[in-house]
Structure 1
């Protein structure tokens, strides 16, 4: 089945139980559980080595700015950029 076909089938099945509040609550719980599981699977783990590389790069950037005369950005400046 394609994603569109699966989507249509899900809605067809939900329409069958739509008038039964108890069954709809169970369906919502099941779908919510699946969504949380997907979010957990997609959460990327950052290892120690990657964290240390990031810290090192940040420190090197600070040293370069200090020697070049460029001052570091304030938190407010960074937020405004976002």
Structure 2
């Protein structure tokens, strides 16, 4: 889903509440608007999580490259 940040920061409860949420009760939030005009109050941790998992796309940003998993194998011979 395409969202745009408003740049406003305020206190409140996060409306998204992913597993990494930092504002389940009260905390710093920002408002994002969807393409349909809906405004969603979201904490920075949830915003980053949804952006990194490609659930949300913020115009003008690029997703961070995911770290590669390196598996080392060692021979005992």
Shared fold by TM > 0.5?
no
Larger Rg: 1
TM-score, normalised by the number of residues in structure 1: 0.24
Kindly indicate whether structure 1 or structure 2 has the higher relative contact order, using CA contacts under 8 Å at least 6 residues apart.
2
TM-score, normalised by the number of residues in structure 2: 0.25
More helix as a share of residues: 1
